[in-house]
Amino acid sequence: MKGLLSFVRSLVGVVGGYALMGLLITMVQEWWFGGVSYRKSGTLVLIAAGFLTFLCAVAGGWLAGWVAGRHPVRHGLVMSAMVAAETTWLITSGRTTDPVWFDTMAAGSLVVGLLLGSSLAACCAPSMRRLSRA
């Protein structure tokens, strides 16, 4: 039973963290900035949206690691693989008009953000859980 619970927590953590990241990225890039693109967005918009998008990945990685509980960085790695697969699909299917280097760098910043967020969950979540039980 413990193994099933661990599996469900892992699955919910990864899916929930990825969904949170996607929702936050949509909010930042589409709602706040009206659609971010290398070809149509100004430099300041790219910088601001890029930084906020990185923070969205940190939040998603943290949530995945926190929900999973055990081995949070492994969950960040799974989500990073999902980002790489999605980016590869977007580029190869022609669904993005941005330069390949731009999309690759954007995906790289998401990977770093996910790993940072899941690492924060590894170091901070245990102390937060102890505080919530007290």
Place of tokens 């963290």: 17
- Tokens standing for residue 59: 């939040």
- Has this prediction a pTM greater than 0.85? yes
Residue ranges in the chain whose pLDDT is less than 50 = none
Domains of the chain, residue spans: 2-126
**Residue 13: what pLDDT?**
95
User: What separation in angstroms does the CA of 106 have from each of 65, 111, 123?
Assistant: 22, 9, 26
DSSP assignment of 47-85 equals: HHHHHHHHHHHHHHHHHHHHHH-SSHHHHHHHHHHHHHH
**Residue 53: what pLDDT?**
98
Taking the C-alpha atoms of residue 83 and residue 118, their distance in angstroms, rounded to an integer, is: 15
